[in-house]
């Protein structure tokens, strides 16, 4: 059986043929997988950064983050169909899906997470685990168990030639550019605006910021909204690349945890480096020893933990 492409096989992690043995790759295959890894890494970065911002400021582990990612993809599927006749409908669908997920995140925070702030952080993990179960079933009910797909509009070229490499245009070029733009925006938001300053100060000492007269509950809701929006956006951008399935949420959330642990909790650059490292490691493993693709992320995490217990960019004593 030949190794099949990710798209054809459904989930993002089925890149290989069954029962393949270890073999050494050629240079072409290596470049291919490296590019694949970077693309995958971009999506990982978006999801992990959203989780990391929420975790960093609020100390809330959002298990439903994967569900927001999945919802972003399904909403894009739904809206892409609805916006078929609008010029640029595809992009509006992505944007609308992300915004809806962001708003949903804000409502979610103020209704369910807020009563738990005074309590131990484990409860938010348990609560969001429960809501993740609910989201998964709702998605199954509305969109069915079978995978759905989103097609990129016809004006986006199939592939393009970059440095002599023939690359799928949307997946390997557009997606990377869009992600870099989003990351730049988030960096600017965190570092060059008042909101960013408050968020960063709140990460250090929420109480002190509250004393300075900042409406912290509002800030928390906003941050949760931004984090969810990023998850939704990642899902929306991933929608045309992979087949969308109800098990996306559980597949991605644990990986995201691994990325956050590798990068370090609450660190912007940690999420970026962690996402890229895991994405590339997984893609290379797909070449080297396919059955171990899924385990790779956790092995990398284990090694990093041994060397740096707080992750690559983590700070000692945060949220323990």
Partner 1 sequence: MSRQSRAAALFTHPLLWTALLIAVLPFVAGANPFAGQGGFVDIATTMIIFGLFASGFNLLFGHVGELSFGHAMFFTLGAYVTALYTKGFNVQVLGLTLQHGAAGNMVIALVLSLIFALLWAWLLARIIVPRSSGIYFSMITLAFAQVIFFITYRWNELTGGEDGMQSIARPQIFGIEWMNSSAHFYWFAAAVVFVTLCVLYWIINSPFGSVLHAIRENKQRARFLGYDVDKFRVNAFVLSAAFPAVAGWLWTYFQQAINPDAGSIEYSGNVVMMSLLGGSQTFLGPILGAALYHELQNGVSQATKYWEAWIGVVFVVFVLIGPRGIMGLIDDVRHYGIANAVRRLFSRRARVQTDLVEELPPLDEPVASEVSR
Least separation in angstroms between CB 92 and partner 1: 30
* 3-state SS class at 166: strand
H or E segment and range at residue 159:
strand 159-162
Least separation in angstroms between CB 242 and partner 1: 19
Distance separating alpha carbons of residues 272 and 45, to the nearest angstrom: 5
For residues 33-92, which are near partner 1 according to CB under 8 A?
59, 61
Least separation in angstroms between CB 260 and partner 1: 7
Closest C-alpha to 259, from 319, 289, 306, 300: 300
Nearer to partner 1, 7 or 294 (CB): 294
Tokens of 244: 């969308």
Per rule CB under 8 A, is residue 125 in the interface with partner 1?
yes
* 3-state SS class at 309: coil
Nearer to partner 1, 164 or 317 (CB): 317
| Contact call for residues 50 and 237 (beta carbons, < 8 A) | no
Nearer to partner 1, 81 or 309 (CB): 309
x/- site string to partner 1, residues 166 to 205, per CB under 8 A?
A: ----------------------------------------
x/- site string to partner 1, residues 222 to 261, per CB under 8 A?
A: ----------------------------x---x--xx-xx
Tokens of 294: 């899924």
Helices (H), the chain: 6-9, 27-58, 65-82, 89-108, 122-143, 175-192, 194-204, 206-211, 216-238, 248-263, 268-288, 293-307
Least separation in angstroms between CB 133 and partner 1: 3
Q: Which residues bind partner 1 (CB under 8 A)?
A: 18-19, 59, 61, 112, 115-116, 118-123, 125-127, 129-134, 136-138, 140-141, 250, 254, 257-258, 260-261, 265, 291-292, 294-295, 297-299, 301-302, 305-306, 309, 317, 319-320
């Amino acid at each position: 059986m030949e190794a099949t492409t990710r798209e054809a096989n459904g989930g993002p992690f089925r890149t290989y043929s069954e029962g393949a043995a270890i073999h050494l790759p050629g240079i072409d295959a290596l470049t291919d997988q490296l590019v694949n890894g970077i693309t995958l890494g971009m999506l990982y970065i978006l999801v992990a950064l959203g989780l990391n911002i929420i975790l960093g400021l609020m100390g809330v582990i959002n298990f439903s983050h994967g569900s927001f990612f999945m919802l972003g993809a399904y909403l894009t599927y739904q809206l892409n169909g609805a916006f078929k006749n609008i010029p640029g409908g595809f992009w509006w669908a992505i944007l609308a899906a992300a915004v809806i997920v962001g708003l949903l995140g804000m409502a979610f925070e103020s209704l369910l997470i807020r009563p738990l702030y005074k309590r131990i952080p484990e409860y938010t993990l348990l609560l969001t685990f429960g809501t993740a179960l609910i989201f998964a079933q709702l998605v199954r009910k509305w969109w069915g168990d079978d995978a759905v797909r989103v097609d990129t509009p016809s004006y986006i070229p199939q592939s393009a030639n970059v440095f002599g490499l023939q690359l799928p245009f949307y997946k390997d070029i557009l997606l990377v550019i869009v992600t870099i733009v989003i990351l730049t925006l988030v960096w600017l938001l965190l570092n060059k605006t008042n909101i960013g300053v408050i968020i960063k100060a709140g990460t250090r000492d929420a109480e002190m910021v509250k004393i300075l007269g900042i409406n912290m509950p509002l800030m928390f809701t906003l941050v949760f909204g931004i984090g969810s929006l990023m998850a939704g956006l990642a899902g929306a951008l991933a929608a045309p690349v992979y087949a969308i399935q109800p098990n996306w949420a559980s597949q991605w959330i644990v990986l995201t945890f691994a990325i956050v642990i590798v990068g370090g909790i609450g660190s912007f650059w940690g999420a970026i480096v962690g996402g890229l490292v895991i994405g590339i490691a997984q893609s290379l493993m797909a070449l080297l020893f396919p059955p171990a693709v899924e385990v790779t992320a956790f092995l990398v995490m284990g090694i990093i933990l041994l060397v740096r217990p707080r992750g690559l960019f983590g700070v000692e004593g945060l949220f323990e």
